[in-house]
Amino acid sequence: MQQVLSFVFFAVGLVMIVKGSDFFLDAVIWCAKILRIPEVIMGATVVSICTTLPELTVSTALALEGKTDMALGNAYGAITFNTGIILALLIIMLRPSIDKKKTLRQNALMLFGGIALSFLSGYLFGEFSRIIGCIFIGIFILYLIKNGFDAVQEAKDKEKAKEDQTRGEKIFKNIVLFAVGVLGIFFGAQLMVEHGTKIAEILGVPEMIIALTMTAVGTSLPELFTTLTAIRKKKSDISIGSALGANTINLFLIIGVASAVRPLPLEGAFLARLLPLTALIILIAFYPVFTKKERYPRHAGWLALCGYLVYVAALFVSDF
């Protein structure tokens, strides 16, 4: 009976995320238009922060419980899934234009710098210490401040929105859509993670693999369904910004908070195989922003997707 209920609650969580993503994205698109904020910046801040709430709560809770392997695996697994599946699908299906190259390049360099710091911390100390965690949180705060300044500058450079766009009923409607969407995404993800993990445990899967797959994928479902909704609505800028922002949050805020709570181990197969594969997938997905290309080449998406499949295969041959 308990196993049947796990499947039922898993399905309920899925429905909540699907509908919540739809409401949430509609509200964000409206907000970006009214505030004259570029969609890529809106995606990298508001969208990515809201859709990464499950990863933040889950990784922090796991760290508090002493399950440091799972806390680390959840955050890095989400980064890899965001890039190798979510962003790859966006590139393959829409071939989005590469606008705001400077912003995309800066965010990509932040990710590479964070992964380099992860390697350094792992090889020198064998863990993410509390000090490194606090440094990562500080970097994330600077990231938010910079995006805030960019948004203000962009808004100044654009024409003012029409008065009829700010009517009270539209504001109220979109606030409700935003709130309902966020709540649906958050609680739907919690149901899917909790009951998806139970299903995996029934099958006898090791904790680290659960964290890197079931938990990471489960907590990344808000980003996945937000991206699928954005693809349907032809809003690729929001999705690219969301993918970059979600990765930045997973790396600097979530790992930073979790390691500040309790040092996270960084050694063995994770450091030798999985972290390099994560770096490779990110490099494949984001190399076009450092070229003169005006649109993402479709092969970048396919290569990132193949990289993720190699990453998953490596999980099952690694000793955890």
Q: The CATH number of the domain where 79 resides is what? A: 1.20.1420.30
Please tell me which of 106-110, 173-177, 256-260, 297-301 the model is most confident about, judged by mean pLDDT: 297-301
Q: Which residues contact 32 (CB under 8 A, 6 or more apart)?
A: 38, 39, 42, 238
Please check whether residue 196 lies inside any domain of the structure: no
Using CA atoms, how far apart are residues 224 and 55, in angstroms rounded to an integer? Answer: 13
Please check whether residue 284 lies inside any domain of the structure: yes
- Interval 222-227 mean pLDDT: 70
Per-residue pLDDT, 35: 63
Task: Give the pair of three-digit tokens for residue 134.
Answer: 């606090």
Please check whether residue 34 lies inside any domain of the structure: no
Per-residue pLDDT, 157: 55
The band of 76, judged by pLDDT with boundaries at 50, 70 and 90, is confident
Average pLDDT, the chain: 75
The band of 304, judged by pLDDT with boundaries at 50, 70 and 90, is very high
Please check whether residue 56 lies inside any domain of the structure: yes
CB under 8 A, 24+ apart: contacts of 190-194: 190/13, 190/54, 190/57, 191/9, 191/10, 191/12, 191/13, 191/16, 192/10, 192/13, 192/14, 192/17, 192/218, 192/221, 193/54, 193/58, 193/218, 193/219, 194/9
Domain assignment of residue 153, given as a range: 39-159+204-315
Please check whether residue 266 lies inside any domain of the structure: yes
pTM over 0.75: no
The band of 306, judged by pLDDT with boundaries at 50, 70 and 90, is very high
Please check whether residue 184 lies inside any domain of the structure: no
Please check whether residue 214 lies inside any domain of the structure: yes
Residue 79 has pLDDT above 70, yes or no: yes
Number of domains in the chain: 1
Q: Which is higher by pLDDT, 320 or 116? A: 116
Per-residue pLDDT, 293: 83
Please check whether residue 230 lies inside any domain of the structure: yes
Residue 263 region, left (φ>0) first, then alpha (ψ -120 to 50), else beta?
Answer: beta
Using CA atoms, how far apart are residues 310 and 292, in angstroms rounded to an integer? Answer: 29
The band of 165, judged by pLDDT with boundaries at 50, 70 and 90, is very low
The Cα angle at residue 256 between residues 115 and 18, in degrees rounded to 5: 90
Per-residue pLDDT, 119: 86
